[in-house]
Amino acid sequence: MDLAYDYATLRLIWWGLMGVLLIGFALTDGWDLGVAAMLPFVGKTDVERRMVINAIGPTWEGNQVWFILGGGAIFAAWPFVYAVSFSGFYLAMFVVLASLILRPVGFKYRSKKPDPAWRTRWDWALFIGGFVPSLVFGVAVGNVLQGVPFRLDGNLRAFYEGSFFGLFTPFSLLCGLLSVAMVVLHGAAFLSVRIERGPVHDRARRFGTWAALASLVLFALGWAYVAWGGIGFRITGAIDPVGASNPLRTTSVREAGAWLANYRAYPWMMIAPALGFLGAALALLGIRAKWEVPAFAGSALSAFGIIATVGLSMFPYILPSSVDANSSLTVWNASSSQRTLFIMVVVTVIFLPLVLAYTAWVYKVLWGRVTTEDVGRNPHFY
């Protein structure tokens, strides 16, 4: 069948591309966030902290583009999801954006004065810009897995019935801590291949060790909670993959353990959680044995597996509702029009390879270990 007229295929493609954007953000900006979250602790002197900052300094802005692309893609491909999530999570998004704004300001202003107190304050600002978004993103994922408290009326108007502090449940906080552990592990593994061997390198390895152990434990606890903690949703009515985008045409129920049904139906999906665990274990082994490239590969595989586990568990749900399961948004009932999705696919096929090629070229040109000697003699360093 002609792709231009296969609505179901287009919806699946954009569900997959959303996963690619989220994983791309976690794998690139994730190490930036992790490095920033460790900055005040792995660097004890100004020179050491400058070395850490300049390990991510040349590329952090480009990596953040994945976050912008993700928000734009949700807006264009899944307008119902964008409307409900960005309005319901408004205060949480504000906290994330406020924290992220500290990053460019911290990078640019830190070196403007040689005063140690001035630079220390900006170091902690960079820490906030790395730690807070990592935590809140994980908390948001935990809330999505539990169901978001919204409902749709007969005119498809969304009503959010939750509160900011209601987002912080025990399970969502567990997911938030897993997110922090995941990016700190990735950041530590990144530093191990990007800075000279020495005291900072050793401190990063210690943080990576604890983050790898935390990732393994928290991921296992999260899996157990999903299996036995009473969360999950299941579609009970007929599914029309090519039907009109109207969330109210889907009937759903909340059902304990339903998020694991896809793994029973499609055992190959177990590859995702297996990568989550095995990647963290490989990273741990690589960090302890000073195998830097395997450690970095393991942290990347772990992040890939953890994020893919969430997406595969929930499919075809994107944003389930905890107060009215029949208002839940899925791949089949919440997308843009067929023509919009097709045009977006064409644009993506043209420009995404260019973006990836340029990104690869940038990293090839800028790759290499940052040293304390570089920090002292390079006038272009932060």
The pLDDT value given to residue 5: 62
In sequence order, what are the residues at sequence separation of 6 or more whose Cβ sits closer than 8 angstroms to the Cβ of residue 341? 7, 10, 11, 13, 14, 77, 335
How many Å apart are CA 25 and CA 29, to the nearest integer?
A: 5
pTM of the model as a whole = 0.92
What does the pLDDT read at residue 72? 87
Q: Decide if 34 contacts 183 (C-beta within 8 A).
A: yes
In terms of C-beta density within 10 A (0-12 exposed, 13-18 middle, 19 or more buried), how is residue 266 classed?
exposed
On whether residue 341 sits in a domain, the answer given is yes
Q: Is residue 382 part of a domain?
A: no
Contact between 219 and 277 under an 8 Å Cβ cutoff? The reply is: yes
Q: Residue 332's domain spans which residues?
A: 3-377
Q: How many domains does the chain have?
A: 1
CB atoms within 10 A of CB 171: 19
Within a domain: residue 249?
A: yes
Burial 15-34, CB ≥16 within 10 A → b, else e? bebbbebbbbbbbbbbbbbb
> Cβ distance 74 to 18 under 8 Å?
yes
Residue 150 lies in a domain: yes
> What DSSP letter does each residue of 266-295 carry, written as one string?
-GGGGHHHHHHHHHHHHHHHHHHHT-HHHH
Residue 33 domain flag? yes
Which parts of the chain sit beneath pLDDT 70? 1-5
pLDDT value, residue 154: 86
Helix (H) or strand (E) run with residue 360 in it: helix 338-366
Quote the tokens at residue 167.
């987002």
Supply the pLDDT for residue 156: 86
| Cis-peptide into 104, omega within 30 deg | no
Residues whose CB falls within 8 Å of the CB of residue 288, separated by 6 or more in sequence, listed in order: 205, 209
Which pairing describes strands 329-330 and 233-235: parallel, antiparallel, or unpaired? Answer: unpaired
Q: What is the tens place of the pLDDT at every residue in 219-257?
A: 999 999 998 877 899 999 888 888 888 888 889 999 988
